Copies of this chain bind each other. A is one copy, B any other.
Amino acid sequence: MVRWFWQRRTPGRVLHLRSRGEVGDATRVDFAELAPDVSTFLGQAAYLQLGYFETLSELIASTPELAKKEALSRAAGAALTKHQDIVALIRERGDDPTAVMLPFREELDAFRRATHGVRPQETLLSVHITAGMLDDFYYALATSYGDTGRRVARILQGDDDREAIVDILTDAIAADEQWRSLLALWGRRLVGDTLLIARSALQGSLGEAEEKRVEPVFTELMGAHARRMDAMGLAA
């Protein structure tokens, strides 16, 4: 049986993903050497938000109920705002946003396709779970980039307006109990892919020492993920 590194117990020092607003130091120090260069970081972070926006827009188009459309449009707008704010930051640094995002397009598009479910509820859960984990992850990474990083952290901290997604999913579960196991299953499937995307953002291949260092961060990502699932009554 494969045991992913984030499933192992960590006897050593535990690094923390800072809670929003808190100025951490442990994570920053440990991430600094593993963090990709700042263009890579910005390009990925910007392109991910564009992807959430696109997925949510597709869901809006296929949602018949106007009230849900309306609610989802807030989540889509929040992702778009984050995307545009990061793009503005890239431009301010004198880079071309398209050129900075393009190298990650293929991998992140494939990831996004893989998170599309057969039913809209699954795809909604995908956005909530993957954006939740990856926003946390890029927020932690941001500490490695000085002032630019602080500005990205502030952007990622912005309201994500995803409560509507949680409402739609809990309504679905309340209306038909079968959704509970179906969505729990789907959630589990998403976690592996999402953590791989987070991990692939780090520099090159990780030795045992580096793995040990990032392990606690992934453990915290998993913890936050479990809390998100729990809030919808879903087993993580």
Chain A interface residues (CB < 8 Å from chain B):
50, 53-54, 57-58, 60-61, 66-67, 69-70, 73-74, 76-77, 80-81, 83-84, 87, 97-98, 101-102, 105
Contact = CB atoms under 8 A, between A and B. Distances in A.
Chain multiplicity (copies): 2
Contacts of A67: 98
Contact of A84 (B60, B77, B97): B77
Contacts of A66: 98, 101-102, 105
19 contacts: A50-B69, A50-B73, A53-B73, A54-B57, A54-B61, A57-B57, A57-B60, A57-B61, A58-B61, A66-B98, A66-B102, A66-B105, A70-B97, A70-B101, A73-B83, A74-B84, A77-B81, A77-B84, A80-B80
A71 B97 CA distance: 11
